[in-house]
Amino acid sequence: MDLNSAVLNLLREHGADLVGIGDVAGLAPDDYRYAIVAALALPVDIVEDIPNGPTPAYQATYKVYNDRLDAMATAVADLLTAEGHRTLPLTRANAPWDPQTAATPFPYKTAATRAGLGWVGKCALLVTPEYGSAVRLTVMLTDAPLTPNEPITTSRCGACHACADACPGNAICNTLWHPGIDRAELVDIPACQKAAGDRAEVTLGVRTTICGRCFAACPYTKGYINRSKKL
């Protein structure tokens, strides 16, 4: 089996709902050439409950999904390293985010657009045609000689502003994304963090940044929910 298929199959065996490979030359740290991206779709019932939340079930799902994503990234890195290819799984331990800037050196969303999984929505999250933004992501950087997908470089949000309307902190600026746009043009991060913290304090009893109202309102996310219910 060729290396591309071996990697993508391994991710699917771990339950990945979307997989792709992006050419990230010049974007990734340490001169890595490719980013392998995997997404897990959030359960429909959890997404439907987000407008009432954040709920303890949503919080618990996050932990479970983050553990699954770290495990699949580590498994792929082990496979490629054993084949002699320099590979870094961007697990939470390997790629923590800086609370001062609310950013990581190489965000998953950048990798995901390069891998053709979707575009960055007005909500500043990755939007996929299949699941909207109701996905959690992980990324593996590698120099293995893989064949990348075509990147997505244009937004498909159009005139929609459902995420901006749904945001309890009025943090979403209703701006169309393009590669390289400053995040501040899409979302007011301090306003997002404050509103999410205020809501979580009420429903979870702790200040966290779990919210998700923006992506639950997205028509692409709603399409995922509606299609799942018809199955």
- Which of 181, 191, 204, 225 lies at the binding interface for ligand B12 (CB under 6 A)? 181
Rounded CA-CA distance 190/200 in Å is 15
Rounded CA-CA distance 22/163 in Å is 27
Q: Which is nearer to ligand B12, 3 or 168 (CB)?
A: 168
Q: What are phi and psi of 206, to 5 degrees?
A: -140, 155
Report in angstroms how near the CB of residue 201 gets to ligand B12 at its nearest: 14
Rounded CA-CA distance 119/113 in Å is 5
- Which of 46, 120, 157, 162 lies at the binding interface for ligand B12 (CB under 6 A)? 120
- Which of 135, 146, 162, 164 lies at the binding interface for ligand B12 (CB under 6 A)? 135
225 counts as binding ligand B12 under rule CB under 6 A: no
- Which of 61, 87, 91, 113 lies at the binding interface for ligand B12 (CB under 6 A)? 113
37 counts as binding ligand B12 under rule CB under 6 A: no
Q: 96: helix, coil or strand?
A: coil
- Which of 157, 192, 195, 218 lies at the binding interface for ligand B12 (CB under 6 A)? 192
Which two tokens mark 35? 């980013």
Which two tokens mark 223? 């399409």
- Which of 11, 44, 211, 216 lies at the binding interface for ligand B12 (CB under 6 A)? 211
Report in angstroms how near the CB of residue 28 gets to ligand B12 at its nearest: 11
59 counts as binding ligand B12 under rule CB under 6 A: no
95 counts as binding ligand B12 under rule CB under 6 A: yes
Q: Which is nearer to ligand B12, 83 or 201 (CB)?
A: 201
Contact 199, 211 (CB under 8 A): yes
Q: Where are the beta strands (DSSP E) in the chain?
A: 18-23, 34-41, 87-89, 119-120, 126-127, 135-142
Print burial letters for 19-54: b (CB count within 10 Å at least 16), e (below 16).
bbbbbbeebbeeebbbbbbbbbbbebebbbbbeebb
Rounded CA-CA distance 160/174 in Å is 8
183 counts as binding ligand B12 under rule CB under 6 A: yes
187 counts as binding ligand B12 under rule CB under 6 A: yes
209 counts as binding ligand B12 under rule CB under 6 A: yes
* Amino acid letter for position 55: T
124 counts as binding ligand B12 under rule CB under 6 A: yes
> Which residues of the shown chain bind ligand B12 in the complex (CB under 6 A)?
27, 95, 97, 102-104, 107-110, 113-114, 120, 123-126, 133, 135-137, 177, 179-183, 186-187, 189, 192-193, 209-212, 214-215
